[in-house]
């Protein structure tokens, strides 16, 4: 039996795919190793949807190849979106790579590894529309939180996005399978469940009857003992209906936090990018959400420098963000991806797109600072994520902070506190965009 190392890059959905591959490999009797040095095979589960992600994946392959040159790694197997996108190029241009698997072939991970160990080259690309194959997972997140991937693929076909070409058409996992996995996660001690997909709000619409099943799924997830927080990411704006709003507003376990990527607000740009909804729609939606869900924290993602974005359209975006005061936002310069309709359109220079993304970050950090200042003096529930030796402090998150994308709360504690526990913290300061505070009794 062999030692297998895994590196997972990109989004939480890719991380879940990697956790499933790790489980399959372990079930086959191989050893899944935390460190890659000393492994017979290293699986690099890549992301490849924009330039920066591609660069990170190539760096990771080259770093692992350096270990291979030193005899510290046996074979390199590349999986995920970069391999799906650049099937021929990777094997031709990267001799360091011994095998590649596409996004339709995660189930072939064990035979792929065993073939590599038999010195056979591996290049496997199954259909990217293959239904998700149910299996177990080896969690790579801290034990107290986990991602729940409820569907694969996407049918929205936003003009700048390569993902539908890499991940296939939208495929919801059967409700019973999702709930079964959720129960397993709760039984294993997960307290915070983070619901993900390319588009979670479309869940169930590919089933007969085409009903949006996210509200029903959330209701049933709330019935599972063990979860304290349930968080929803990647909701498409015009798929948010009253039923979903009611469930989020009424179920205490569902955190009042919603991730709604809008990418832009200018109606012409949204139309050109094949995105549904316009500025007026977004304004009405955010007003309704804030009115119906008190304490709601909104996260979004913005792309600057999209085709059609001149000075006026960018000024409009800045004005919209200053008005809407979305508490959390990531800004990304447009990355023209070959194979997408947007890459064939006229668009601003990369330097302009980058400068505009920095401008959006500046606007947003001001909004976040105001949000943080308003927290001072408040007592909030915090999920303890860990202890930072260097800082000599515990840290955690409030309901308004999703792991790996939002801020932290630094916690002064006289007594040791356990990772994964919920504590009440009186906020008394702001530290580089993070909050700080001390533990108080309930
Ligand atoms: S919703 Fe749009 S941006 Fe998101 S994965 Fe689908 S096509 Fe891409």
CA 73 to CA 33: how far, in whole Å? 12
Cβ–Cβ < 8 Å for 321, 329: yes
CA 316 to CA 139: how far, in whole Å? 42
Confidence of residue 363 (pLDDT cuts 50, 70, 90): very high
Map the chain to HEC letters: CCEEEEEECCCHHHHHHHHHHHHHHHHCCCEEECCCCCEEEEEEEECCCCHHHHHHHHHHHHHHHHHHHCCCEEEEEEEEHHHHHCHHHHHHHCCCCCEEECCCCHHHHHHHHHHHHCCCCEEECCCCCCCCCCCCCCCCCCCCEEEEECEECCCCCCCCCCHHHHHCCCEECCHHHHHHHHHHHHHCCCCEEEEECCCHHHCCCCCCCCCCCHHHHHHHHHCCCCCCEEEECCCCHHHCCHHHHHHHHHCCCEEEEEECCCECCCHHHHHHCCCCCCHHHHHHHHHHHHHHCCCCEEEEEEEECCCCCCHHHHHHHHHHHHHHCCCEEEEEECCCCCCCHHHHCCCCCHHHHHHHHHHHHHHHHHHHHHHHHCCCCCEEEEEEEEEECCCCEEEEECCCCCCCCCCCEEEECCCCCCCCCEEEEEEEEEECCEEEEEEECC
Which atom of ligand 1 is the closest one to the Cα of 154?
A: 6
Q: Is the CB of 156 under 6 A from ligand 1?
A: yes
- Residue 101, pLDDT > 90, answer yes
Residues β-bridged to residue 259: 299
Q: What is the pLDDT of residues 193-213, one digit of tens each?
A: 999 999 999 999 999 998 999
Q: Is the CB of 301 under 6 A from ligand 1?
A: no
Confidence of residue 1 (pLDDT cuts 50, 70, 90): confident
Expressed in angstroms and rounded, the spacing between residue 339 Cα and the centre of ligand 1 is: 14
Tally of residues, the chain? 442
The per-residue b/e assignment along 338-363, b for 16 or more CB within 10 angstroms, e otherwise, is eebebbeeebbeeebbbebbebbbeb
Q: Is the CB of 157 under 6 A from ligand 1?
A: yes
| pTM listed for this prediction | 0.96
Q: Is the CB of 163 under 6 A from ligand 1?
A: yes
Q: What is the pLDDT of residues 197-254, one digit of tens each?
A: 999 999 999 999 989 999 999 999 999 999 999 999 999 999 999 999 999 999 999 9
Confidence of residue 335 (pLDDT cuts 50, 70, 90): very high
Expressed in angstroms and rounded, the spacing between residue 374 Cα and the centre of ligand 1 is: 34
* Average pLDDT value for the chain: 96
Q: Interior CA angle at 289 toward 287 and 291, to 5°?
A: 70
Distance of CA 85 to the CA centre of its chain: 19
Euclidean distance between the first and the last CA atom of the chain, given in angstroms as a whole number: 51
Confidence of residue 184 (pLDDT cuts 50, 70, 90): very high
Cβ–Cβ < 8 Å for 63, 29: no
Q: What is the pLDDT of residue 203?
A: 98
The per-residue b/e assignment along 91-121, b for 16 or more CB within 10 angstroms, e otherwise, is beebebbbbbbbbbbbbbbbebbbbbbeeee
Mean pLDDT of the region 115-142:
94
Q: What is the pLDDT of residues 38-50, one digit of tens each?
A: 999 999 999 999 9
Expressed in angstroms and rounded, the spacing between residue 154 Cα and the centre of ligand 1 is: 6
- Residue 159, pLDDT > 90, answer yes
- Residue 10, pLDDT > 90, answer yes
Q: What is the pLDDT of residues 48-85, one digit of tens each?
A: 999 999 999 999 999 999 999 999 999 999 999 999 99
- Residue 432, pLDDT > 90, answer no
- Residue 136, pLDDT > 80, answer yes
Expressed in angstroms and rounded, the spacing between residue 294 Cα and the centre of ligand 1 is: 28
Q: What is the dihedral of CA 186, 187, 191, 197, to 10 degrees?
A: -30
- Among protein residues, the one with the nearest Cα to ligand 1's atom 8 is 161
Query: Do β-strands 99-101 and 122-124 pair in parallel, antiparallel, or remain unpaired?
Result: parallel
Q: Which of 13, 49, 164 to mutate to test the pocket of ligand 1 (most atoms within 8 A of CB)?
A: 164
**Number of Cβ within a 10 Å radius of residue 333:** 23
- Residue 442, pLDDT > 80, answer no
């Amino acid at each position: 039996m062999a030692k297998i190392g895994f590196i997972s890059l990109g989004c939480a959905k890719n991380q879940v795919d990697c956790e499933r591959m790790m489980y399959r490999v372990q079930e086959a009797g191989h050893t899944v190793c935390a460190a890659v040095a000393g492994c017979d095979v290293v699986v690099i589960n890549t992301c490849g949807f924009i330039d920066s992600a591609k660069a990170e994946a190539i760096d990771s392959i080259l770093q692992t190849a350096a270990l291979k040159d030193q005899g510290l790694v046996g074979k390199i197997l590349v999986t995920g979106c970069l391999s799906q996108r650049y099937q021929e190029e990777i094997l031709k241009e990267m001799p360091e790579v011994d095998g590649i698997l596409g996004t339709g072939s995660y189930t072939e991970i064990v035979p792929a590894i065993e073939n590599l160990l038999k010195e056979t080259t591996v290049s496997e690309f199954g259909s990217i529309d293959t239904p998700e194959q149910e299996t177990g997972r080896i969690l790579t997140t801290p034990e107290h939180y986990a991602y729940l991937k409820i569907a694969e693929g996407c049918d929205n076909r936003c003009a700048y996005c390569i993902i539908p070409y890499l991940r296939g058409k939208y495929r919801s996992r059967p409700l019973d399978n999702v709930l079964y996995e959720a129960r397993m996660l709760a039984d294993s001690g997960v307290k915070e469940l983070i619901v993900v997909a390319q588009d979670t709000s479309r869940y169930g619409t590919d089933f007969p009857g085409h009903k949006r099943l996210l509200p029903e799924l959330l209701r049933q997830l709330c019935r599972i003992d063990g979860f304290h927080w349930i968080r929803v990411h990647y909701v498409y704006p015009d798929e948010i209906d009253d039923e979903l709003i009611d469930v989020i507003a009424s179920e205490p376990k569902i955190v009042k936090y919603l991730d709604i990527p809008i990418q832009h607000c200018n109606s012409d740009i949204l139309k050109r990018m094949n995105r549904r909804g316009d500025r007026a729609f977004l304004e009405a939606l955010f007003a309704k959400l804030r009115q119906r869900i008190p304490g709601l924290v909104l996260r979004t993602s913005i792309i600057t420098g999209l085709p059609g974005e001149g000075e006026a359209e960018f000024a409009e975006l800045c004005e919209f963000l200053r008005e809407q005061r979305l508490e959390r936002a990531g800004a990304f310069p447009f990355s023209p991806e070959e194979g997408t309709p947007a890459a064939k359109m006229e668009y601003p220079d990369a330097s302009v797109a980058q400068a505009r993304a920095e401008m959006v970050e500046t606007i947003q950090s001001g909004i976040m600072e105001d949000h943080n200042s308003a927290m001072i003096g408040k007592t909030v529930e915090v999920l303890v994520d860990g202890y930072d030796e260097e800082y000599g402090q515990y840290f955690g998150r409030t309901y308004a902070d999703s792991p790996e994308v939002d801020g932290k709360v630094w916690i002064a504690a006289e007594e040791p506190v356990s990772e994964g526990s919920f504590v009440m913290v009186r906020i008394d300061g702001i530290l580089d965009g993070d909050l700080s505070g001390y533990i108080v009794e309930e």
